Amino acid sequence: MGAHCGAPGAQALQALDDFIRHRLPLFGQFQDAMWTGEQMIVGDGDGHSVRDLAGSLGIIAHELAHGISQHLIKGGLGVVQVPGSPPTLKGEAGALNESFSDVMASMIKQWHGGQDVHGADWLLGEDILAPHVGKAIRSLKDPGNTKLTWKQDDQIKDYRHFKPTQDAHTASGIANHAFYQAATQLGGKSWETLGAVWFQGFDKLRARATFLDAAHATVGVAAALHGQGSATHQAVKDGWRKVSVLT
């Protein structure tokens, strides 16, 4: 963090930076990061394929967003409690939970880089993989495109390909791509044009929400904030249509 930022915002950013650097529990040789329902766990990778997860803004923002959604939605969005194990995410609601974290992390990355929607790479985890493994963990621009990400990227971006048994990370590509489509249709800076719409829309969801619920919620918030038939309202509808959630 720069030492010449203005207060009080700089103080909050510095506190977050200190927290990430000094207080997050680090587990050597753990090649993942997770939100346990109580705290974030961040590994330092294996030094060969995965590295420096704690140094990745996108990864940290993604996991912190899980903590936010846990408190937004009573019971947690798609959260299934398994005794003796961290919470797991199931079904459409679980995929929406993962997508909320991806979208929030992507907007934070873009804000940090001062990027508009056309200048952003729309990737997450692009800074943790060794070159022989891949380029990134996920792409909101083109979920499942292994040329942009890595060979095990199995995300889908169209609801017609959704199966109830799919992993939440796989199906999260649907809502991720809906956000990407809406944001790029609007142009500008995603956190200014769609940040409030997505956050307030997801705040209206119940624990077992579906993709259709999320579409209706975000479309409704877009109309309430920007007006029925506004460019934002239309872009959000079009985004969900392009992933076959709305018709």
**Annotated active-site positions, please?**
63, 169
- Give me the sign of the Cα torsion angle 159, 164, 170, 175: positive
Residue-wise burial string across 140-175, b where 16 or more C-beta atoms lie within 10 A, e elsewhere:
bbbbbeeebbbeebebbbebeebeeebebbbbbbbb
CB atoms within 10 A of CB 211: 23
DSSP 53: G
Phi-psi domain of 126 (left: phi exceeds 0; alpha: psi -120 through 50; beta: other): alpha
Task: Determine which helix (DSSP H) or strand (DSSP E) holds 34, and give its type and residue range.
Answer: strand 33-35
What 3-state DSSP class applies to 35? strand
Neighbour-count burial of 185, counting CB atoms closer than 10 A to its CB (0-12 exposed, 13-18 middle, 19+ buried): middle
